[in-house]
Amino acid sequence: RTVYLNGEYLPETEARVSIFDRGFVMADGVYEVTSVLQGKLLDFAGHLARLGRSLGELQMGNPLSAEEWLTIHRKLVELNGIHEGMIYLQVTRGNPGDRDFAYPPEDTPQTVVLFTQSKPGLADNPQARAGMRVVSVEDLRWGRRDIKTVQLLYPSMAKMEAKRRGVDDAWLVEDGFVTEGTSNNTYIVKDGRIITRQLSQDILHGITRASLLRYAAEAQMQIEERPFTIAEAQAADEAFFTSASAFVMPVVEVDGVALGSGRPGPVATRLRELYLEESLKTAI
Ligand code: PMP
């Protein structure tokens, strides 16, 4: 596999980053994941815009132009022959030499890493036909979940808790309300209405979420942006989650309670089709 590191395209075994890198010792970095379908990038403009915002919130500059980011993404897709899969992008505050809580001088070069992962069957995913089962786990993450940092230990712990309990993923709960999934935005459907938590610092502003809500509104579907509880999810007709790598994923069970028919519902199924169809139109 060929990866990108600080201006160079290298075999993955030759890409090396300093042990002093702040991404490594302090999780001081941000990332993006863009999906590739039919060899094209989905929602690329959205992912780049959020990258800029995440960097800005952490007083980091954007090391490359939109054109340069696009060129690197396209080149890695081509070099690695990615038809279906994803591209991971990470920018850290680089290597200041000595470990220090204070940020290093602004001219410290950032570390820029991109790599691809091939994932055949991403669009025609058997899990989307079966639906996923989730359990609730307390949301113990930090308070700036709107910044897409590489600090992913708690979501990872919650994911392992879900696995221990024999299901697919965890829905995080704070003050009695679902915030989001370990790596996705969450939704319920009741009487045809799509309900999802409103944007704030409590959740990541999902790029898939933004596109899907736009497509759903254009299709005259009813959307309510507000928090919901696990009890409300269990009493819902359907549930689902969204992320760049899962697109729209039906959820069929919440904390052991089957939703509706216990099978992916019509709204989630339609929204998955709608997202795939519409996002491919703007894929680049
Ligand atoms: N919330 C969290 C916590 C996530 O990690 C992700 C995926 N990165 C999402 C939501 C979904 O965001 P997106 O649709 O941009 O992938």
Domain range annotation of the chain: 2-118, 126-281
Quick one: pLDDT at residue 97? 86
Asked whether 185 lines ligand 1 (CB < 6 A), one says yes
pLDDT digits (tens, 9 = 90+) for 81-120: 999 999 999 999 999 888 999 999 989 999 999 999 999 9
Supply the CATH classification number for the domain 126-281: 3.20.10.10
Ligand 1 centroid from CA 267, angstroms: 21
Res 278: pLDDT: 97
Q: Do domains 2-118 and 126-281 have the same CATH topology?
A: no
Q: For atom 9 of ligand 1, which residue has the closest CA? A: 184
Q: What pLDDT shows up at residue 89?
A: 98
| Ligand 1 and 196: CB distance under 6 A | no
Atom of ligand 1 nearest to the CA of 207: 15
Task: Verify whether ligand 1 is closer than 6 Å to residue 208 (CB atom).
Answer: yes
ipTM of the complex: 0.99
> Does pTM surpass 0.90?
yes
Residue 251: what pLDDT? 98
CB 30 near ligand 1, within 6 Å: no
Instruction: Check residue 96 and give its pLDDT.
Output: 81
pLDDT at 2: 98
Is residue 119 part of the annotated active site? The answer reads no
User: How many CB atoms sit inside 10 A of residue 114's CB?
Assistant: 21
Check if 113 has its Cβ closer than 6 Å to any atom of ligand 1. no
| Residues 92, 23 contacting (CB under 8 angstroms) | yes
Kindly give the distance from the C-alpha atom of residue 242 to the centroid of ligand 1, in angstroms, as a whole number.
7
The tens place of each residue's pLDDT in the chain, 284 residues long, gives 999 999 999 999 999 999 999 999 999 999 999 999 999 999 999 999 999 999 999 999 999 999 999 999 999 999 999 999 999 999 999 998 889 999 999 899 999 999 999 999 999 999 999 999 999 999 999 999 999 999 999 999 999 999 999 999 999 999 999 999 999 999 999 999 999 999 999 999 999 999 999 999 999 999 999 999 999 999 999 999 999 999 999 999 999 999 989 999 999 999 999 999 999 999 99
CATH number of 2-118: 3.30.470.10
165: Cβ contacts below 8 Å, ≥ 6 apart = 135
**pLDDT number for residue 135:** 98
Strands (E) in the chain, as ranges, are 2-5, 8-11, 29-37, 40-41, 85-92, 111-118, 132-138, 169-174, 177-181, 185-190, 193-196, 222-225, 238-243, 247-254, 257-258
